[in-house]
Structure 1
Amino acid sequence: MIHDLKKEGKYTYLEVGEGTPIIVLHGLMGGLSNFDAVADHFSANGYKVLIPELPIYSMPLLKTNVKNFANFLEEFIEYKNLHQVILLGNSLGGHIGLLHTKLFPQKVKALVITGSSGLYENAMGDGYPKKGDYEFIKKKSEDVFYDPAVATKEIVDEVFETVNDRKKLVKTLAIAKSAIRHNMAKDLPHMHTPTCIIWGENDNVTPPSVAEEFHELLPDSDLYWIDKCGHAPMMEHPNDFNTILNGWLKERKF
């Protein structure tokens, strides 16, 4: 992360730019730096970009679930005294954004999801990352992207450290189960918040059919595709991602 993080009470977050607030929500294995290009672009174009560190591994185990992360997000919005925010979430972050929007629709002006869970995901593929098996972790990390080179050693090392930390591993499994339990198929048709869906055409974790289902179920949604792209478009094709989102925000007058 090229920007300085703020630490205030229980919140650690990035804040850059001025204007309409965009709150970015990272995924289960995703760091704040995954959104460097998003933060740089939109903070320079009339938006205040905030990226809070989600309490993935700091909440008590029994509270480690999607609903409590959505409540944490609401507390952060209240803490920052924000109104009518745009939520942008990848993977688990998209799911948290969706659930928060369902619970607090008056707070959310627009929603952006990319590679989001909430309907289906294949996060573990054909098996959970094996403790101590670095090559297995490396292959799993590479499978997240269309271009395996995007899975840098830094990314692989971070995932490897997580699955070899027993407490983090237990919470990772708890969150994965929580995401499956919090299926939102029945909720989406009642959610009228304008939603931008940006998806990689080669996403193996949340396949393209998931994006199409989100688009069908969400009453006010637009679906955009990025070719030769996996589960994290904002990392793999940041310029394309920013161009699509920028165009959508202008078209919708956000």
Structure 2
Amino acid sequence: MTEFLKKEDKFTFAEAGEGKPIIVLHGLMGALSNFDTTFKYFSEKGYQVFILELPLYTLPLIKTNVKNLAKYLHEFINFKELKDFILLGNSLGGHVALYYTKLHPRNVSALVLTGSSGLYENSMGSNYPRRGDKEFVRTKTRAVFYNPEIATDELVDQVYDVINNRNSLIRTLAIAKSAVRHNMAKDLPKMNHPTCLIWGRQDTVTPPEVAEDFHKLLPNSDLYWIDKCGHAAMMEIPEKFNTILEEWLSKRNI
């Protein structure tokens, strides 16, 4: 994906393709590469795909929250002069997409949520974060996926580095607390946007009941399950994820 990375103004993002825009938003411990397969797939299917790097560790601490991440997204959208776009978010990225849609509903043509926060979620456990204990980090990172092999050494190192750096750790905890404060339950029934929910049946972070609640609260949603799949379907079973999304976009004529 490095060949598609760009830095313009204060934004770092990947961009490819032409057509209707899809803006992809990664999770709290996520990276742009989490959506590598989906990015390439839809940029070759008549969509202009962006993956925006969220400033999780660079905002002032007092502004490190869901609200200001949505504001940053809005600034990016204005900078790129985007309209009538699809927002696709995993975990925290889904929450940011929802909060943005609450504030700017007319800009969004559709939502795609996978393992999204915004209602409730499980943390890495009561002992999280345990700094300096790499095996603990490895165990918890593997638990995010149905197939533990997805948690490569590179991914474990990435999470380990985040929680062992004071700056990133403080901001990680601030965002996690912000996600709890910005619960979207009362807002979702007002969002009539076509919404595609793609969920791993074995998601332990935002378990299946979270998907069911999103489906009940969002008035114009469709829920799809991927079996033998955890919290990040677009990483774990990307082919199935892409097929579901492509068929949904076609069915909804988006």
For the criterion TM > 0.5, the same-fold answer is yes
CA contact (8 A) 2:4 2:16 kept: no
SS at match of 2:4: coil
Matches within 5 A, 1:1-254: 1-254=1-254
CA contact (8 A) 2:196 2:223 kept: yes
Q: How many percent identity over aligned positions?
A: 64
Distance 2:74 2:3 in 1: 24
In angstroms, what is the RMSD of aligned CA positions? 0.7
Query: Are the equivalent residues in 2 in contact too, given 1:129–1:136 (CA < 8 A)?
Result: no
- Letter aligned with residue 40 of structure 1: K
The code of the aligned residue for 1:71 comes to K
TM-score by length of 1: 0.99
Question: Are the equivalent residues in 1 in contact too, given 2:28–2:91 (CA < 8 A)?
Answer: yes
Q: Mark the runs of 5 or more structure 2 residues left unpaired by the alignment.
A: none
TM-score of the superposition, structure 2-length normalised? Answer: 0.99
Separation in structure 1 between the aligned mates of residue 181 and residue 213 of structure 2, nearest angstrom: 18
- Contact 2:22–2:49 under 8 Å retained in 1: yes
CA distance in 2, matches of 1:20, 1:31: 23
**Cα shift at 1:9:** 1.4
Counterpart code for 2:104: F
Confirm or deny: 8 A CA contact 1:125 1:205 kept in the other structure.
no
The structural deviation recorded for 1:2 is: 4.4
SS in 2 for 1:94: helix
SS at match of 1:3: helix
Secondary structure of the residue that 1:56 maps to in structure 2? coil
Q: Secondary structure at the match of 1:48?
A: strand
* Amino acid in structure 2 at the alignment position of 1:177: K
**Unaligned runs of at least 5 residues, structure 1:** none
Q: Is residue 2–residue 36 contact of structure 1 (8 Å, CA) maintained in 2?
A: no
Give the letter aligned to residue 137 of structure 2: I
2:30 is matched by which residue type in structure 1?
G
- Checking the alignment, whether the CA contact within 8 Å between 2:200 and 2:226 is kept in structure 1 is yes
- Report the residue type matching 2:240 in the other structure: D
Deviations 1:43-80 (A, max 9, x none): 00000000111010010000000011011111111100
Q: Specify the code of the residue in structure 1 equivalent to 2:11.
A: Y
- What is the identity, as a one-letter code, of the residue corresponding to 1:239? E
What amino acid is the match of 1:128? Answer: Y
CA distance in 2, matches of 1:155, 1:77: 29
